Amino acid sequence: MRLTCQQTEHFDREGYVVAEGALSDADLDPVIGAYEEYIDRRAGQLCAQGKISRNYRVEPFDRRLACISEENLEIYREMDIMECRLQAAFDFLRNEALMDLVESLIGPEILCSPIQHGRAKLPGNLEFRGQGDPEEGRKQLEAVICENVAPWHQDAQVHLEEADPCFILTVWLPLGEATPENGCLQVIPRVHHHGLVYWSEGFGLDPQQISGAEVVTLPMKKGSVLLMHKLIPHCSTPNLSGGIRWSMDLRYQRIGTPTGRSFYPEFATRSRANPALVLREYESWRQQWQAVLEKIPTAQRPRRQHRPLAVTPIAVAGRTEPPSRSAS
């Protein structure tokens, strides 16, 4: 499913668009099933090691990891795409239906950025019930609950300077329903027209810079996909439900443009000019990530040294000039 003319116009005007029903259960269920299998295997290991009291196999997908995390956070900390390196996740990164959406905005030469995440947004009401010091356990659990309540930020803030001039498309999608109760996304539209990055002292935006701005809340059903410009401010709200809000956030750009994370593996997901460029070998992808994370763990990756306020005009030009989204 490609974006309609109305949807591409909405993206250009507002800086984001939600493609409702763009993906089917057949697209998403293999990813969910792979996560379920991974969690089941690891829960069995933790049980055998005496680190959790039971495997919680009777719990549904949106509850099982939450129950486990009240006792032990090891599995939760392995859920990111590059950490657990599931074949179903690799296959989904070049899913044909997803690539059709991305091609509508980037063109047919598509690169998957290494800035890719799978997120298990834990409920905010969990209580530590594990082994060890109760106070330390409570603090660690609270920390991981808070880490997925994303503050207002722009994705242009998370890559190195080399990628500043490039159009990088954020793709966000829930693996179940995303609601205001379980922490769906909010965006501030049209900011991409300003060509500005609103830095704060830490990660995210200074609240004064967006005070009074229009905020759009985006509840989404399973199968819907949010496509967003890297200059659009967005955040997620706390998860006040009893279950996990599972999601993936991915980034795509034109082949040949810098990702801003050149030290991590990128790969082509579609090329109509040269289909041989597309990486189809799961084992190659898995080994690349394993090797590079042993050398540069995510906590030690290089960070930005400069924080320019304005980005080059070519990064925010309109769709009437196709090179604007494929600048190198």
Please tell me the least confidently modeled range out of 21-25, 194-198, 222-226: 194-198
Q: Is the pTM of this model over 0.75?
A: yes
Inter-residue contact 231 to 190 (CB < 8 Å):
no
Amino acid identity at 245: R
Inter-residue contact 26 to 96 (CB < 8 Å):
no
| Burial class of residue 132 in the structure, from the number of CB atoms within 10 Å of its CB (0-12 exposed, 13-18 middle, 19+ buried) | exposed
Chain length of the chain:
328
What does the buried/exposed string (b/e) look like for 157-179 if buried means 16 or more CB atoms within 10 Å of the residue's CB?
bbbbeebbebbbbbbbbbbbbbb
Tell me the domains of the chain and their CATH numbers: 5-325 (2.60.120.620)
Inter-residue contact 64 to 76 (CB < 8 Å):
no
pLDDT greater than 80 at residue 324: no
Task: Report which DSSP code applies to 249.
Answer: E
Locate 237 and state its tokens. 């709200």
Q: What are the strands, taking DSSP E only, across 143-272? A: 169-174, 185-187, 216-218, 225-229, 234-236, 245-254, 267-271
Per-residue pLDDT, 312: 53
- Binned at pLDDT 50, 70 and 90, residue 309 comes out as confident
The pLDDT tens digits of the residues spanning 223-282 come to 999 999 999 999 999 999 999 999 999 999 999 999 999 999 999 999 999 999 999 999
Amino acid identity at 101: L
User: What are the beta bridge partners of residue 185?
Assistant: 218, 236
Q: For 28-40, give the DSSP string.
A: HHHHHHHHHHHHH
Inter-residue contact 55 to 47 (CB < 8 Å):
yes
Per-residue pLDDT, 202: 76
Per-residue pLDDT, 311: 64
The pLDDT tens digits of the residues spanning 47-62 come to 999 999 999 999 999 9
- Collapsing DSSP states into helix, strand and coil, what is residue 47? helix
> In angstroms, what CA-CA distances link 31 with 19, 39, 105, 174, 215?
19, 12, 25, 11, 31
Starting at the earlier edge strand, list the strands of the sheet with 216-218. 216-218, 185-187, 234-236
Task: Report which DSSP code applies to 116.
Answer: -
Per-residue pLDDT, 208: 83
Residue 174: which of 185, 188, 187, 165 has the closest Cα?
A: 185
Q: Where do we find the tokens 């498309």? A: 169
- Binned at pLDDT 50, 70 and 90, residue 326 comes out as very low
| Neighbour tally for 151: CB within 10 Å | 14
CA distance 63 to 66: 5
- Collapsing DSSP states into helix, strand and coil, what is residue 225? strand
Helix 25-48 to helix 61-71 angle (10° resolution) is: 30
- Please give the mean pLDDT across all residues of the chain: 92
| Burial class of residue 15 in the structure, from the number of CB atoms within 10 Å of its CB (0-12 exposed, 13-18 middle, 19+ buried) | buried
